[in-house]
Amino acid sequence: MSGLAISFADIEAAAGRLKGWAAETPLIESPALNDRLGLRVLIKPETLQRVGAFKFRGAFNRLAQLTPEERTRGVVAFSSGNHAQGVALAARLLGMPALIVMPADAPRVKVEATKGYGAEVRVYDRLTESREQIAAAIAQERGAVIVPAFDDPHIIAGQGTAGLEMVRQAEALGAALDVVVTPCGGGGLLAGVATAVKALSPRTALIGAEPAGYDDTLRSLQAGERQPLTPRARTLCDALESPCPGELTFPILLRHVAGMAVVTDTEVAAAVRFAATTLKLVAEPGGAAGLAALLAGKVDTFGGRTVGLVLSGGNIDPDLLARILRDEI
C-alpha cells in the first residue's frame, strides 16, 4: 500500500479500538431484493450503527488517538449531520468537548441529535460563509483539534472496518463477494472499505454511488486526477454533497475502484421507499444511494452474482420520509 494514506494494518488496528464501542452491524439478506435483481445481495445496514450511520467508526478511531492534552482542549468538526453526530458521541464517550459547525439548512433531526450527544453547534450559511474558515478560527481560538469528515487517515481506517466486517461475515455465510457497492461523497467510506475488501478479497470489484450533480468522483476517476465541480443545485443526498474527492481518499479510489454509478433524486427516493417498505429499514437518501444504483440497474456486476451493499446511514428527517413514502418525491 506504499504511497497511500492507509494500509490494511491500519484498519485492523482501528477495529481493535472500536471493539466494544461500535456496533458490529449484521450482514442481512432480502429474498424480495434478490428476486427483483436476480442477484444475491448481502446488505451491511450501517443504519443500525451508533448515531445511525457508519460515521461513528471513523470519528471514534480518530478521537481515541488524541493525547490527554488534546482531549482537554477538545475537537472541532464541520458536517451536515452524520459526521457531526459521530464526533459528538465519540467526544462524549471519551470525555472531551466538541463543537460542530453545521449548515443552517441541515436536516433538523441531525442537528438535534448532534446537540443531544452533548456537542456545541455553530450554525452557518452555506451560501455566504465558509465552514472551513469558521472551524479553523474556532480551533485556533480554543487550541482544539479539527476532525475532518473524510480526508484523514484515521477517519478512513475507521470507516474501513465496515468492509473488514463485511468480507468476514460473507465468508461465514459461505459467500464470496463479486462486487461491493457503497455510497460515495468525499470518499472516506469507499476508500476505507475498498482497502479492506481488496486486502481480503482481491477479486472483488468496488463500485461507488454518488448523486447526479455531484458526480465529482466519477469525473475525477475518468480524468485520473481530482476534478472539483461547482454544484448547480441541491440533492436529496445531503450526506453526499461533496464537490471533490479528498486529497487522501482519491489515490485510494483511483487504485481500487472499478466504477461509479450516478443516481437521480427520483431513483434515490424509490430506494428509500423500497428500504422502508420491503427491507423494513429506515435509510436516508445518501445512505440509500448504493441501493438506488442497484434498483436502477446502474451497477455493473462484471458477470458476478453476489453483491455486498452498504446502507450507510438512516438519519432522515421524518417529514421527508413521510413525503417519500407518500410518493410525493
- For the chain, give every domain's residue range: 8-54+152-325, 56-146
pLDDT of the residue at 3: 84
* CATH match of 8-54+152-325 with 3.40.50.1100: yes
Beta strands in the chain (DSSP E): 28-29, 40-45, 75-78, 98-103, 120-124, 145-146, 179-183, 205-211, 257-263, 306-311
pLDDT of the residue at 169: 98
> Which numeric CATH code is attached to 56-146?
3.40.50.1100
Q: How far is residue 137 from each of residues 13, 101, 111, 133, 222, measured CA to CA in Å?
A: 32, 11, 21, 6, 36
Of these residues, 30, 79, 80, 312, which one is catalytic? 312
Is position 55 annotated as part of the catalytic site?
yes
pLDDT of the residue at 126: 85
Of these residues, 55, 110, 198, 298, which one is catalytic? 55
- Residue 315 CA to residue 238 CA, distance in Å, equals 11
* Residue ranges in the chain whose pLDDT is less than 70: 1-2
pLDDT of the residue at 283: 98
pLDDT of the residue at 1: 39
Asked if 211 and 218 count as a contact pair (C-beta separation under 8 A), the reply is no
